[in-house]
Homo-oligomer: A and B are copies of this chain.
Amino acid sequence: MTKGFINYRKILIVGLGMIGGSYAEKLSALGFEVGALVRRQETLDYALAHGLIAHGQTEVTREYVSQFDLVVSALYPKAFVEWVRKYQEFLKPGAVITDVTGVKRSVVPAVQEILRADVEFVPAHPMAGRERSGVEFADSKVFAGANFIITPTERNTPEGIELVRTLGCILGFRHIAVLTPEAHDEMIGFLSQLTHCIAVALMDCKDSEHLVEYTGDSFRDLTRIARINENMWTELFLENRDELLSQMDLFLEKFTQLRDALDRGDEDTMKEMMRLSSYRRSFFDKK
């Protein structure tokens, strides 16, 4: 059903936030004809003025949508499922849809179950971003060195997966992996969502104005991601609630173990926990 990547000359980006805008920027620079569907006219004006897209609309019409071979949804998870429900009838037969959402179990089956049989949805998660949101922060340089994860199901074809793998590749991602939606959500719950929860909780502990002048690198590093888009992350957390709760509880268990060892002056346990963390962290330096 799918063709070689070079035949997907016209690519539609739905939603031009930081990530959608970065996809558009890179794909336009590579010579693709990039169109966009956005909510606000100002977003369209900005994207056109900065050469991120060739054309775009604020209105979703059959005439516009049906010209694209490849559609990238850069919407939030629930908005994406809703978009497919409302507008899939406009899609060109044989089109491929992919996405950028950071949770997969709640999105992938929901979309694949309602989708027309002549259109394929290949889910993907570009693990890149910035602390700021909006098309004006679009910058495809954030993809360099980052991970791109494809989370297909048995409904996907090898050709569809290969197409999206090529997309991740030309966008500039360093490492492209394939995981099940379940493995993805567990991994992302730990590596990304839990770390954001820690940063938010730590930053919420104290008024920061008088602390700034004493703050060293470690506190700065731990709280960088405490500057957070509350609408997007609240939705991502809730869409991955069970998995994130279990990762948070695992962290609480380890943190409390260290706290209690300190409380009872148990040097051996403290040192053992530090030796383990040092050993495990050492793997990160070898790359």
Binding site for B on A (CB under 8 A): 127-128, 146-147, 149, 175, 177, 187, 190-192, 194-209, 211-216, 218-228, 230-231, 233-234, 237-238, 241, 244-245, 247-252, 254-259, 262-263, 265, 267, 270-271, 273-278, 280-285, 287
- B residues less than 8 Å from A194 (CB atoms): 202
- B residues less than 8 Å from A247 (CB atoms): 205
Measured CB to CB, the closest approach of chain B to A103, in angstroms, equals 13
Majority secondary structure of chain A interface residues (helix, strand, loop or mixed): helix
The copy count of this chain in the complex is 2
**What would 5 A/B residue contacts be, using CB atoms closer than 8 Å?**
A177-B213, A195-B202, A201-B251, A204-B273, A205-B254
- B residues less than 8 Å from A227 (CB atoms): 277-278, 281-282, 285
Measured CB to CB, the closest approach of chain B to A226, in angstroms, equals 4
Q: How far is the CA of A287 from the CA of B237 in the complex (A)?
A: 31
Q: How far is the CA of A237 from the CA of B208 in the complex (A)?
A: 23
Given A200-B277, A225-B218, A284-B215, the answer on whether A252 and B262 have CB atoms closer than 8 Å is no
- B residues less than 8 Å from A220 (CB atoms): 284
